[in-house]
Structure 1
Amino acid sequence: MLEFLIHNDVIPADLELGLAHARRARAIDEFQAMLESDLTENKWQEWFEQNHWVLGSDFVRLLDERKIDTRNISDFLMQSYDGFLDIVEIKRPEGGLQFWHSQLDHNNYVPHSDLIKAITQSSKYIHEIEREADSMKFCQSVGGVKTIKPRCTLIYGRSNNWNDAQQEAFRILNSSYHNLTIITFDHILHRAQRILGKAS
């Protein structure tokens, strides 16, 4: 290894970038393998905790605290790129949770009740964080990160076999929320691949 580094004049910064890229590539491979297994939500939380870079540039830091109050515990509290507090909520892609209702309504795809429940839970977290925004105890627990109009990213379900109409319905669904973004595990995978230049 030393001979290779000397011969190819690899500087430490380049080496560090290469190692980081290799770690992320392995993480993507692990993510794909996990999608084929029936894993608990805890396993997914662990993976995202170690690889929160896949959430994109909207978030700059994963906070140590997850508790909103005595009754509500989020999957992750994050510091966004603008310095404010946001939420990430994960629902495992397995376990029988459905994204779209099995029947169309007026020829439209509509969210399944499973998804509506996850959206409701996410909205509840947003509401409770806004209630705690002026609490000195809560502010200290999140390291002083300011809380103004928090947003939530809900990672839910699969989209690898969606048709064009479902993709359009997803776009319309997301546009109806101003403080919530829904993203599927397959969207996460595709974004991670694009970050590493691996997407087709």
Structure 2
Amino acid sequence: MSLDHSYIIGSDDNNELMLNISGLDSCEKNVADLSANFYALCSNTGVSKFTCKLNVQNLRELHHHLSKYSIICDHESLSTGRFVEVKGNYQEVINILENTDNASLIMALQHLVSKKLTHNDINTILGRKDSLAEYEDMLKKSDQYNEPDWQKFFERNEWIFGYGLTYKYLKILQREAHVSKTDLNGANDVITDFLMSDSRYTKIVELKTPTTKLFTKRQGRSDTWFLSSELTDAVSQIIAQKANWEIESQTRNYTADGNLIREETFDAECILIIGSLSSIEGTDKEKAIKRKTLELYRRNLKNIDILFYDELLERSRYIVKSAEVIEDKLTSTLVLPE
């Protein structure tokens, strides 16, 4: 007794695509005797448009290719993203990872190792836990480190800048960037600690030390406190850097590695990292006045974000902890052989 194994695969306004598998019946037969025919018929007239005959190996290959895609196998899948298959050569994995942007790489790794490694392992692999511990130690012994020390640390760990103050991922374009022309005698060169990028626009970062004083010893009127000259001078410095870079950025500029800076500059955002909130001293009332003065001051600066070292430490802890959360919606999937 023969069984009918014909299926409608799909149709458009004009044609129907059918699949028929022949050679399947109640008697045991060699799989080589199986065959499959894909054929298309005109929906209106029933006239054949084409027929394609496949053997069982062709069907297996078709199934193999289709089964790789969750959007096909999983009826509940509602979205998809970038898909990569690795067939067994682990050099392919290395090549893929080397050419993957950071955001996609982290998300893919989270998906890949979710059943094999803990999220603590992910952070260890990324080296972030060690860097975080180093940051905490440097901050505790902040009187032993100067600006160049902090420059080198942040250059090694640009991830600490995270997704920026506006949740855009930041990367370092150039350390100690010259953002102005010099005088004819080579003087008055304006240098910022870091020229950074959010992949579209440039940003200026200026560093002072965690021990930089934020206030004087004098209280002002109307519940205010006098800010230190170290703080106001640093703001003046970054304003000058910003003004000079606005001009210099309009010409072609290159990093120390010779790469063209393609990011644009429009009213560049500036980030000043200075002092620590924990250094604020005085009575409870005096501390409250100082915190209020400081917050009002930095909120009213146009496109200049003041960030304190202990605040940046908290942001760093959050970035490390966030690796413990697997994203609900993955934009990347990395598949390794079982």
Q: How far off its partner does 1:80 sit?
A: 2.0
Tell me the secondary structure at the aligned position of residue 178 of structure 2: coil
Cα distance in 2 between the residues matched to 1:119 and 1:11:
40
| Equivalent position of 1:67 in the other structure | 178
Q: How far off its partner does 1:145 sit?
A: 1.3
1:176 counterpart (281, 297, 300): 300
| Equivalent position of 2:241 in the other structure | 125
Tell me the secondary structure at the aligned position of residue 64 of structure 1: strand
Letter in 2 for 1:26: D
Q: How far off its partner does 1:197 sit?
A: 2.9
Q: How far off its partner does 1:133 sit?
A: 2.5
Deviations for 1:132-174, whole angstroms, at most 9, x for unmatched residues? 1321246986521111110110000011143333332222111
Farther-moved stretch of structure 1 (19-28 vs 84-93)? 19-28
More strand by share: 2
2:278 counterpart (160, 167, 192): 160
Q: How far off its partner does 1:98 sit?
A: 1.1
Letter in 2 for 1:85: T
| Equivalent position of 1:193 in the other structure | 317
What are the ranges of 5 or more consecutive residues in structure 1 without an aligned counterpart? 1-9
Q: How far off its partner does 1:20 sit?
A: 4.9
Preserved contact between residue 84 and residue 147 of structure 1 (Cα < 8 Å): yes
Preserved contact between residue 68 and residue 138 of structure 1 (Cα < 8 Å): no
Letter in 2 for 1:190: E
Deviations for 1:16-41, whole angstroms, at most 9, x for unmatched residues? 96555122121111111112142121
| Equivalent position of 2:135 in the other structure | 31
- Structure 2 residue 145 is matched with structure 1 residue 21: no
Farther-moved stretch of structure 1 (83-92 vs 138-147)? 138-147
Cα distance in 1 between the residues matched to 2:161 and 2:110:
29
- Percent pairwise identity: 23
Question: With CA pairs under 8 Å and 6+ residues apart, which has the higher RCO, 1 or 2?
Answer: 1
Alignment coverage as a number of residue pairs: 186
Preserved contact between residue 252 and residue 260 of structure 2 (Cα < 8 Å): no
Tell me the secondary structure at the aligned position of residue 197 of structure 1: helix
| Equivalent position of 2:207 in the other structure | 90
Q: How far off its partner does 1:194 sit?
A: 2.1
Q: How far off its partner does 1:121 sit?
A: 0.6
TM-score, normalising length: structure 2: 0.50
Preserved contact between residue 253 and residue 261 of structure 2 (Cα < 8 Å): no
Tell me the secondary structure at the aligned position of residue 102 of structure 1: strand
Letter in 1 for 2:289: A
Preserved contact between residue 100 and residue 111 of structure 1 (Cα < 8 Å): yes
Alpha-carbon spacing, 1:155–1:142, altered in 2? closer, same or farther (3 Å): farther
- Structure 2 residue 145 is matched with structure 1 residue 42: no
Letter in 1 for 2:271: T
More helix by share: 1
Deviations for 1:46-82, whole angstroms, at most 9, x for unmatched residues? 111111222231243210362213401111111125x
What does 1:3-18 correspond to in 2, within 5 Å? Answer: 13-14=112-113, 18=120
TM-score, normalising length: structure 1: 0.81
Alpha-carbon spacing, 1:197–1:137, altered in 2? closer, same or farther (3 Å): closer
| Equivalent position of 1:148 in the other structure | 266
Cα distance in 2 between the residues matched to 1:110 and 1:134:
38
